[in-house]
Amino acid sequence: MVDIDLGLVNWSRAQFALTAMYHWIFVPLTLGLSFLCAFFESIYVKTGKEEWRYLTRFWMTLFGINFAIGVATGIILEFEFGTNWSNYSWMVGDIFGAPLAVEGIVAFFLEATFFAVMFFGWNRVSKGFHLFSTWMVAIGSNLSALWILVANGWMQHPVGMAFNPETVRFEMQNFWEVLFSPVAIAKFTHTTSSSFLVGATFVIAVSSWYLLKGRHIEMAKKSILVASVFGVFSLAMTAFTGDESAFTNASTQPMKLAAYEGLYTGEQKAGIVAFGVLNPAAKPGENSDPFLFKIKLPYLLSLMANRSFDSFVPGINDLVFGNEKKGIVGVDQKMVRGSEALVDLRAYKNARDAGDKAAAEGALGRFTKNQDYLGYAYFDKPEDAVPPVQTTFYAFHIMVFLSLFFAFICLSYLYYGMKDSIGQKRGLLLLGIASFFLALIASEAGWVVAEVGRQPWAIQGMMPVSVATSNLAKGNVMATFWMFAGLFTLLLLAEIKIMLWQINKGPEGE
């Protein structure tokens, strides 16, 4: 067994989680607001009305402030793969690095190039080319998300690659299989559509504040109408793609699905937990009820997971300890096969170094049979394969509950906006202001489900997080954690201050 410093692993996890969650405060607003700016400017070019020009430039300024801070945190996040996760980066650099390289070379340079025209090209280029530049920034921003989510999707569902026992590295075999992985597609569509909703709620929140203050009333009403239409569309797409994400989880990450539904024992005709309170004492393999209280909607989990009302959905216990009747191999058996694979891999390398060709071929043949279970060799017990169930469960249900609130907000704003009576609904306007902050919480909760729910894996089923870290002193990671915590907090406070100043100033020349 490899000697693993769990303190180092946990601090490395904490630092990466800190960076990712700060970064994700800015990213969804960038993705959503970029398209709203493009819509606003399209209306300006179509109508030729100057109020749409002032409106576009106002929202574009807020977009630019957020974009700059997001880039700063994103760069640090990518560097951490080399500093904190060098074992991971070395073993999968051929695969994981490819989409990130495409993101930098194509998508980021696309948006960066047209970003300059979008901000400084007013009255310097034609209306048509300026509008084209704004759309290119929106498309480029979301293409950046595509390639990053392709890389993340590969970690969740490794495809299009092979393990090379000569180098002990994972190497890409089929780039297109990586790009068009169903997990990557589901992650991209769900992440971007939910980010569009964040952008819509931001415009709704700021515009609602203006209406409550009696300022920039016409601009606020116009902004609300466009944002609410965009929000309704985004919410519908978020619901559809969320269902697709759950469907792909059922086949590629069944443990994650079981965790965010709190399903310990597999069920035929399984229902979805609409609301529940988990039993904190519940553990895999025990007979205690995993819930203190729950409200279930029958059959819907089976439908979501397998597109069949009467299908079987495995629970945590089935996946950990196996279920022979359902043909499910338990983690305990996978640990045995993974340990055998690790022994045979070492035997192969020793025989190859000694020049014993026959022994090397025999060891390689045995290794090949069990190589898919190599990551399980680093577990101490089968329960190590279970993610933090309570964190995953509550994050998932917070995300789902809030989506119902956003449906109410977007539909209400669209209805009263079309009737031109939104300014008279003070209570609704206050909820509209709150909707942006709740949208950020829902977006962060979605990432908690995605990343905490796949623990303990860095690469699903192949590399645990515990063996992916760099060989660093724990104290160094602790020191940089607090340094980044301070830096990111200052960046966030700076953005809030600049944003509030710009919002209070309002659109110029209105």
Residue 10 domain-assigned (yes or no): yes
Average pLDDT over every residue of 166-193: 92
In this prediction, residue 2 has a pLDDT band, given cuts at 50, 70 and 90, of low
Judgement on whether residues 305 and 267 belong to the same structural domain of the protein: yes
pLDDT, mean of residues 82-101: 86
One domain for residues 141 and 284 = no
Q: For a pLDDT cut of 70, what percent of the chain falls above it?
A: 99
Instruction: Quick: pLDDT tens for 456-468.
Output: 999 998 899 988 8
286 and 170 within one domain? no
Q: How many domains does the chain have?
A: 3
On whether both 81 and 130 belong to a single domain, the answer is yes
Residue 226 is assigned to a structural domain of this protein: no
Cis previous bond, 456, omega within 30: yes
Domain check: are 164 and 142 in the same one? yes
Same domain for 292 and 342, yes or no, is: no
pLDDT band at residue 447 using 50, 70 and 90 as cut-offs: very high
Q: Which letter does DSSP use for residue 400 in this model?
A: H
Predicted local confidence at residue 1, as pLDDT = 46
Beta strand ranges found along 210-321 (DSSP E):
267-268, 272-278, 291-297, 312-313
Taking only the tens place, the pLDDT of each residue in 25-34 is: 999 999 999 9
Which pLDDT belongs to residue 428? 94
Together in a domain, 346 and 290 = no
pLDDT for the residue numbered 509: 57
Domain assignment of residue 163, given as a range:
1-174+473-498
* 39: number of Cβ within 10 Å: 18
pLDDT at 473 over 90: no
What are the residues whose beta carbons fall under 8 Å from the beta carbon of 244, sequence distance 6 or more?
186, 189, 190
Query: Are 149 and 25 contained in the same domain?
Result: yes
**β-pairing verdict for 161-164 and 169-172:** antiparallel
Top pLDDT among 73 and 136 is at: 136
**pLDDT per residue as tens digits for the range 38-90:** 999 999 999 999 899 999 999 999 999 888 888 878 888 888 888 888 888 88
Q: Evaluate whether residue 280 is within a structural domain.
A: yes
CA angle 252-197-449, nearest 5°?
30
Same-domain status, 365 and 271: no
* Residue 472 clears pLDDT 70, i.e. is over it: yes
Query: Which residue, 348, 378, 408, sits at the end of a domain?
Result: 378
Query: For residue 354, what are the contacts with CB-CB under 8 A and spacing of at least 6?
Result: none
Query: What does the pLDDT average to over 387-392?
Result: 94
pTM of the model: 0.92
Where does residue 505 rank: exposed (0-12), middle (13-18), buried (19+ CB within 10 A)?
exposed
- Judge whether 16 lies within some domain: yes
**320 lies in the same domain as 338:** no
Kindly tell me if the per-residue pLDDT of 93 is higher than 50: yes
Q: What is the per-residue pLDDT for 4?
A: 73
Mean pLDDT of 411-431: 93
In-domain check, residue 185 = no
Q: Are residues 340 and 322 in the same domain?
A: no
The C-alpha angle with vertex 238 and arms to 232 and 241, in degrees rounded to 5, equals 140
User: Does residue 173 contact residue 95 with C-beta atoms inside 8 Å?
Assistant: no
Q: Is residue 198 pLDDT above 50, yes or no? A: yes
Can you tell me the distance from the alpha carbon of 445 to that of 218, in angstroms, rounded to the nearest whole number? 35
Work out the mean pLDDT of the chain and round it to a whole number. 91
Total length of the chain = 510
Residue 89: predicted pLDDT: 87
d(CA 237, CA 463): 33
Beta bridge partners of 169: 164
The answer to whether residue 186 sits within a structural domain is: no
pLDDT given for residue 96 in this prediction = 85
Whether residue 162 has pLDDT greater than 80: yes
Give domain status of residue 210, yes or no: no
Residues 349, 275 within the same domain: no
- Assigned domain for 437 exists: no
pLDDT at 102 over 90: no
Exposed, middle or buried, 343 (CB in 10 Å: 0-12/13-18/19+)?
Answer: middle
CA 338 to CA 349: how far, in whole Å?
A: 17
Are 256 and 282 in contact, with CB atoms under 8 Å apart? no
